[in-house]
A and B are shown apart, each in its own frame.
Chain A
Amino acid sequence: MSSKVVFTVGDPASDHSLILRHPEAPNDAVCCCCSILSVSSSSSSHTFKGGAVEEAGGEGAMGSNNHGNSKEFLELIKSIGESRSKAEEDCIVLREIETLKRRINDADTPKRKIKEYIIRLLYVEMLGHDASFGYIHAVKMTHHDSLLLKRTGYLALTLFLSDDHDLIILIVNTIQKDLASDNYLVVCAALNAVCRLINEETIPAVLPRVVELLHHSKDAVRKKAVMALHRFYLKSPSSVSHLLSNFRKRLFDNDPGVMGASLCPLSNIVSDDVNSFKDLVVSFVNILKQVAEHRLPKTYDYHQMPAPFIQIKLLKILALLGSGDKQASGHMYTVLGDIIRRSDSMTNIGNAVLYQCICCVASIYPNPKLLEAAADVIAKFLKSDSHNLKYMGIDALGRLIKLSPHIAEQHQLAVIDCLEDPDDSLKRKTFELLYKMTKSSNVEVIVDRMIDYMISMSDDHYKTYIASRCVELAEQFAPSNYWFIQTMNKVFEHAGDLVNIKVAHNLMRLIAEGFGEDDDAADSQLRSSAVESYLRIIGEPKLPSVFLQVICWVLGEYGTVDGKYSASYISGKLCDIAEAYSNDENVKANAISALMKIYAFEVAAGRKVDILSECQSLIEELLASHSSDLQQRAYELQAFIGLDVQAVETIMPRDASCEDIEVDKNLSFLNGYVQQSLERGAESYIPEDVRAGMGNMKNFRSQDHHETLQHGLRFEAYEVPKPPMQPKVTPVSFASSADIVPVPDVLSSRETHHISSVGSTSEVGSSELKLRLDGVQKKWGKPTYSSSTSSASASYSTSQKPTSGATLVDGATTVNSKVHDTYDSRKTQVEITPEKQKLAASLFGGSTKPEKRSSTSHKVSKSSASAADGSRGSKAAVVPNEVAVEKAIHQPPPADLLDLDEPTVTTAPPSVDPFKELEGLLDPSTNSATNHNVAAATNAPDIMSLYAETTVSGGDSIPVSGGYDVNLLSELSNAATKATREETIVKPLPQSIKGPDAKDSLEKDALVRQMGVKPSSQNPNLFSDLLG
């Protein structure tokens, strides 16, 4: 000891010579070197004291010395340990930071103290405070020659910095130098730091050194170098792509540790690029063979298994290399067989190696003998009492089953036992295996087990998974239709809410289309069994929504197909479903659609529809439902019942749920009509922009009206404002009323013909009616009487008259507008005179106002008539004659005019409501039945509108002056205009109107209007009484 101290006090060369004295014991030499270095550092400032302590206590004394030097540090740790709160701890740490900050920057602080300060900074950083002011000092420490200080510096840096820190640049040079050191401990410390601190940018700086270290004499250094290269590969593969051969070379290192370390990067690289390493198969096989033959030192044994983890790693690599490669696999067969034979199945590690071997056998090109050996091992696993081994057996069986299906059959009983095991992991693994080994011969038992398991579990996620697996297997391997239906029913009954909606759709499609075998009898049988099973299942207390939807759909489509069940029975069942699940709108929607189908099929078959009372109440309930979808379906059903056989068959064909629906965007079915109209001189279709121009003209007329109002206002400024307004409105109304007196009769006649005619016949009828209208005026009386006679029942007549009234009102509006346009200027002159007369009348009392007004209105009417020019004399005479014929007494005519006045006043509301109704029906429909309804509905409104317009044009012919031919031409022109408008109106119908529903709605509106008119109709009577 004394001599050592003397050496230390001397020059550093002594240390070197001391090392050289012990070449035969490198470890001991290095250990002594460390001790001497420590002594050197401690005695640099306390030479005498250190020496004295050394002589007294030896190594232990050195420990005490360290303890003494770190007294402040121990105090710090103690105080932190004793602090009772975070705030107190923070206070202590902050004080420590101040102390360290002051001392560590002192140039006179000795190296040993710096080391302690760095250690204290580690502690401070660990407690969550910032110690970055001291990082640079740790960097400096790595430059130091003392191993302890260097090691501490590296340790501190790996804790302080991450690989993207700015100070990394500063230590690259130090690392480079240390990697070239001849002290292997220094090299190891640097390699540890390399793995932690070197980033992508600085890899090139240290890469050559690390590559050189692959050939270092120390195996520990070589091992760490391999790991460092692996780290570089993970960080930046391109940086080391040209050095991959080094991993190959290290594979043949003398030291098993280095060889084992090289397996890790090789495993990564082989995964990335298998083909480039096929040539290593032989090498891997040789290594594996040597390991299996216990060529490695005994220290690598684990439970007497030679280097099991190296074996497992090699087996994984070989599995990658041998996959799909017969030649590469050929090299592996022998060694794999040896391992399977040698491995001890009594220990866990032995079983682990066996399992990995089976995985390898399953991955590489198949070999019959190896498969047999693997099967034997699997048999042992499955028969074991340990759950872990059973799990491995099931997993291995799943891998092998693709190569050799018969292996699984031998272990079916063992597999079934695993199914009944209380261990859930084992159960799930077993189901994976069963899924793979399913065939037509065993699908029934497997799916049954799966369903039972699915019922017992509460995990929704896995339940969904099992259900989809059951469905998939059933679709692929169903032995019979009956079994298939039963299986689907079970899956939906217990996991209906978890199954993908597509599964339900697929099931419905299967039932509709069969199994694609073109065997109608089999398909029919499938549907019958489905219907029967669903009728039985309906009795279950609680069923998933998706399942109920499927049931409703099937019962609707095929419930009455084979005649086994009556429409009443099926519809009753559907009503029960809708009632039991009244909270589920989807189920009710499906139920109502199913009812529609059943009734449609009954109508198409020519049988009378006998609606049950509960069905009727259900329909009525849904008509008032908050859900517009349910409401729409109910209205459709209601309208449907009233249609005839041919329409029903067209709209709802049997067994057509999977047929494609064709939509004619161009409305080609109207081309014939348009052609005929054009041939008869009608104008062609006017595009929208042109119609916009017409709108402008209307605006112009509106401005004229505005000027008139301003003029009127001036007069009102001087006179009483209300009285003058009244006469302006009344004369116009009366004039219009007088003109349209004969119109109702014509409308009634047209409608009668419309009801009795179909298709092209209606057009011919229309022509005849026109001819009749033009030719003989006396004929008008007969159609009226005919209409009255044809009214068979009161309700029928009632339903027709409101429609007629509505149309009449529309026609009146049009006529009113046109008359107003024609006589605008003349009316202005006339209105001045009545105002003056009104002024005179105002001088009289208020009680006489009504009488005066009525009298004035009558005079205005007569004035208008007398104002007509000579050419119209005959027409004017006709009008009075007609009036005379209808009413002999002078008094009744005023009453009649008043009666017609009220409907005219109500023109505005009806004209708005129909469009609102159309807007309400704008929602698009994806139902094929609705599309058919739309097609049917398109015709009815079309024909109705056509006749309405024609009637209006007939009305216009009366006031027109001039020759007979001129009248006819005008009529045709108007008809063409109306046709154009009618086309415009018809355009949106196919997209938005549900014919029967719209029709019913319009009828209801008409009824409401009719009811609204009655009270006002009594007013004329009141006036009559007053007049009388």
Chain B
Amino acid sequence: MILQFFVLSQRGDNIVYRDYRGEAQKGSAETFFRKVKFWKEDAEGDAPPVFNIDGVNYFHVKVAGLLFVATTRVNVSPSLVLELLQRIARVIKDYLGVLNEDSFRKNFVLVYELLDEVIDFGYVQTTSTEDLKSYVFNEPIVIDAARMPPLGPASIFMQGTKRMPGTAITKSVVANEPGGRKRDEIFVDVIEKISVTFNSSGFILTSEIDGTIQMKSYLTGNPEIRLALNEDLSIGTSDYRGSGAVILDDCNFHESVHLDSFDVDRTLSLVPPEGEFPVMNYRMTQPFKPPFRINALIEETGSLKAEVTIKVRAEFNSSINANTVLVQMPLPSFTSRVTFELEPGAVGHTTDFKEANKRLEWGLKKVVGGSEHTLRAKLTFSQELHGNIMKEAGPVSMTFTVPMYNASRLQVKYLQIAKKSKAHNPYRWVRYVTQANSYVARL
């Protein structure tokens, strides 16, 4: 099915190269990378996932900054190959714990063994982490993804509240814990990406949520799990049952999920395979409350001056914090200088004017729910303004990550693991993350 498989780093270095049939020339990796690198003259556009050079089809996906590439000569289904590349990346991540260039290089022998078992003579054999465990016995070399923060009063206090740092999910599925003892754990992540467009009056023009429920299982013995969602969840219906309902447009499930009781009480039964996999993907276009509201204003204050006011309000609960918030706004191309004025008492805010592409950036390290922040910027132009300034500037775009918040209100009510004995008590972790996919406010 496929001729070659290779993984390239951001700079085009060959990390892994596997030729299954010997039917293509050896310089495929260089050919591919040169093509991808210079696909567009201005280097802004990305190369398409599938393209053809000299009779060879190249399929690639980008995962964690690495390019996973497969080549064929015959006409293979593109969806199949792209799905295969994604699954190979996932299997390798399950083994290595963290998927990046460093871990790849250190464990490339293990990766070769995995590839040997996953694909034979170009044909796919299995992409199941569970099945591969019976064939590949090499231990991965685990690298430290992130150092634990130094212990302090706050850290001690937080540890007491049964919180687990985010790096816990970077463990390898097959590696043994230091001390030789393996802990039964399962992580469930509800990740939503939000796309919202506001008009100049602050009203929502378009809104959409792309969500996924990811599961990473470190359980031994593969027990059955029951996962319950909102009881008032409805899918694909035009009926409006009330303000409390969660209405999804569409969703699909992993093949190991049993939907027998889904229609009755919105419960999923599944026997999760080891490693990471998406339990459910869903999409929602019903109106929802956005986590942030943006108000932006720009007005002339002189023949060569203007003033920009951006106001951001966090609409979620005050017990939730947003991280790595970044507000960007393109300015007129003839802007020569910008001075910023932050509100009194602002902590953790950074401002910058990018001269190269005439854009102002406003970074907020942490935004507490319910709070409101304002930025004022004074612009100085290099030439007189002709016409409407509002057409020369904007729109305002925003990126953020809000943990333990989801806009759709889809909830994991409970996560039940079938017990084998009273003493057996696995750990269960549920996490919610909301991220901005395309968050734009027009002037």
Give me the interface of A with B, judged by CB distance under 8 Å: 27, 31, 34, 57-60, 62-63, 66-67, 74, 77, 80-81, 119, 122-123, 126-128, 151-152, 155, 158-159, 162-163, 188, 192, 195-196, 220, 227, 231, 264, 301-304, 349
Check if B13 is an interface residue, CB within 8 A of chain A.
yes
A27-B134 contact, Cβ under 8 Å, with A162-B22, A304-B258: yes
Contacts of B139 in A (CB 8 A): 59, 62-63, 66
| Per-residue interface assignment for chain B, residues 1 to 28, with 1 indicating a CB less than 8 Å from any chain A CB and 0 otherwise | 0000000010001101111001000100
Residue picked from B108, B123, B139, most chain A C-beta under 10 Å: B139
Q: Which residues of B contact A (CB under 8 A)?
A: 9, 13-14, 16-19, 22, 26, 101-102, 105-106, 108-109, 112-113, 116, 120-121, 123, 134-135, 137, 139, 141-142, 176, 178-180, 253, 255, 258
Shortest Cβ distance from A307 into chain B, in angstroms? 12
The 6 lowest CB-CB distance pairs between A and B, nearest first, are A77-B105, A302-B255, A303-B255, A58-B180, A126-B17, A162-B22
Q: Is the CB of A192 within 8 A of B101?
A: no
Contact status B180-A81, CB under 8 Å: no
Shortest Cβ distance from B115 into A: residue: A155
Select from chain B the residue with minimum beta-carbon distance to A58.
Answer: B180
With contacts A74-B106, A231-B121 taken as known, whether A66 is within 8 angstroms of B180 at the C-beta atoms is no
Contact A155 B112 (CB under 8 A): yes
Interchain CB contact under 8 A, B14 and A77: no
Contact pick for A59, options B13, B16, B123, B180, CB 8 Å: B180
Which chain B residue lies CB-closest to A73?
Answer: B106
Contacts A27-B134, A227-B120 hold; do A155 and B113 have CB atoms under 8 A apart? yes
| Nearest CB of B to A61, in Å | 10
Q: How far apart are B12's CB and chain A's nearest CB, in angstroms? A: 10
Nearest chain-B residue to A346 (Cβ)?
A: B259
Residues of chain A contacted by B142 (CB below 8 angstroms): 63
Task: Select B106's contact among A62, A77, A80, beta carbons within 8 Å.
Answer: A77
Contacts of B178 in A (CB 8 A): 57, 60
Residues of A within 8 A of B176 (CB): 59-60
- Is A192 within 8 A of B120, CB to CB? yes
- Least distance between B407 CB and chain A CB atoms (Å): 27
A77: chain B residues at CB < 8 Å are 105-106
- What are 25 A-B residue pairs whose CB atoms fall within 8 Å in the complex? A31-B137, A58-B180, A59-B180, A60-B176, A62-B139, A63-B141, A63-B142, A67-B141, A81-B9, A81-B13, A81-B105, A122-B109, A123-B108, A128-B14, A152-B109, A155-B109, A155-B113, A158-B116, A192-B116, A196-B121, A231-B121, A264-B123, A303-B253, A304-B258, A349-B255
State how many angstroms separate the Cβ of A591 from the closest Cβ of chain B: 46
Are the CB atoms of A81 and B121 closer together than 8 Å?
no
Distance in Å: Cβ of B433 to nearest Cβ of chain A: 27
A195 to B125, CA, bound (A): 14
- Name the distance in Å between B186's Cβ and chain A's nearest Cβ: 20
Known: A60-B178, A155-B113. 10 other contacts (CB 8 A): A27-B134, A62-B139, A63-B139, A63-B141, A81-B101, A122-B109, A126-B14, A192-B116, A192-B120, A231-B121
B38 to A: closest C-beta gap in Å: 16
Whether A80 contacts B120 by the Cβ 8 Å rule is: no
Complex Cα–Cα for A188 and B117 (A)? 10
Collect the chain B residues with CB atoms within 8 Å of residue A67's CB.
141
Q: Is the CB of A60 within 8 A of B180?
A: yes
Cα A27 to Cα B135 with chains together (Å): 10
Taking CB as reference atom, which chain B residue is nearest A123? B108
Q: Which chain A positions have C-beta within 8 A of B180?
A: 58-60
Beta-carbon nearest neighbor of A62 in chain B = B139
Which residues on B sit within 8 Å (CB–CB) of A127? Answer: 14
CA distance in complex: A119, B142 (Å): 19
Kindly state the separation between the CA atoms of A220 and B133 in the bound complex, as whole angstroms.
13
Nearest Cβ in chain A — how far from B20, in angstroms? 8
Q: What is the distance, in angstroms, from B252's C-beta to the closest C-beta of chain A?
A: 9
Q: How far is the CA of A77 from the CA of B116 in the complex (A)?
A: 22
Interface centre among A60, A123, A158 (most CB of B within 10 A): A60
Q: B16 — which chain A residues lie within 8 A by C-beta?
A: 126
Contacts of A302 in B (CB 8 A): 255
- Greatest chain B CB density within 10 A among A192, A220, A301, A303 is at A303
Quick check: B120 and A195 within 8 Å, CB to CB? Answer: yes
Task: For B256, give the chain A residue with the smallest CB separation.
Answer: A301
C-alpha spacing A31/B139, complex, angstroms: 12
Which residues does chain B contribute within 8 Å of A159, judged by CB atoms?
A: 18-19, 112
| Distance in Å: Cβ of B285 to nearest Cβ of chain A | 16
CA A74 – CA B109 in complex, angstroms? 13
Q: B102 contacts which chain A residues (CB < 8 A)?
A: 81
CA distance A302 to B254 in the complex (A): 9
B225 CB, nearest partner CB in chain A, Å? 15
Query: Residues of A contacting B255 with CB < 8 Å?
Result: 301-303, 349
Residues of chain A within 8 A of B106, CB atoms compared: 74, 77
Chain A residues near B22 (CB-CB < 8 A):
162-163
Nearest chain-A residue to B18 (Cβ)? A159
How many Å lie between the Cα of A66 and that of B13 in the bound state?
Answer: 25
Instruction: Give complex CA distance A80, B15 in Å.
Output: 11
Chain A residues whose CB sits within 8 angstroms of the CB of B253 once the complex forms: 303
Q: Within the complex, which residue of A27, A74, A155, A303 is in contact with B116, where a contact is CB–CB below 8 Å? A: A155
How many whole Å from B272's CB to the nearest CB in chain A? 13
From B13, B18, B137, name the one whose CB has the most chain A CB atoms within 10 angstroms: B137
| Among A74, A195, A196, A301, residue most surrounded by chain B Cβ atoms (within 10 Å) | A196
Find chain A residues with CB under 8 A from B112 CB.
122, 155, 159
| Nearest CB of chain A from residue B159's CB, rounded to whole Å | 23
Given A66-B141, A304-B258: A119 touches B134 (CB 8 Å cut-off): no
Residue of A nearest to B177 (CB): A60
A195 and B108 CA atoms in complex are apart in Å by: 22
Chain B contacts for A158, CB-based, 8 A: 116
Q: Which of B22, B105, B253 has the most CB of A within 10 A?
A: B105
Q: How far is the CA of A193 from the CA of B116 in the complex (A)?
A: 10
Residue ID in chain B nearest A304 by CB atoms:
B258
Q: Specify which of B13, B105, B121, B141 is in contact with A195 (CB 8 Å cutoff).
A: B121
A188 contacts B109, CB within 8 Å?
no
Residues of B within 8 A of A57 (CB): 178
Alpha-carbon distance between A196 and B19 when the two chains are bound, in angstroms? 10
Q: Give Cα distance in the complex from A104 to B71, angstroms.
A: 34
Q: Report Cα–Cα, A60/B180, bound state, in Å.
A: 7
Q: How far is the CA of A303 from the CA of B257 in the complex (A)?
A: 7
Given the contacts A74-B106, A123-B108, A188 and B135 also touching, CB distance less than 8 Å: yes
- Cα A119 to Cα B113 in complex, Å, equals 12
Closest chain A residue, CB of each to CB of B137: A34
**A231 CA to B17 CA, complexed, in Å:** 22
Interfacial chain B residues near A231, Cβ < 8 Å = 121
A227 to B108, CA, bound (A): 26
Q: Report Cα–Cα, A511/B141, bound state, in Å.
A: 82
What residues of A have a CB within 8 angstroms of the CB of B109 in the complex?
119, 122, 152, 155
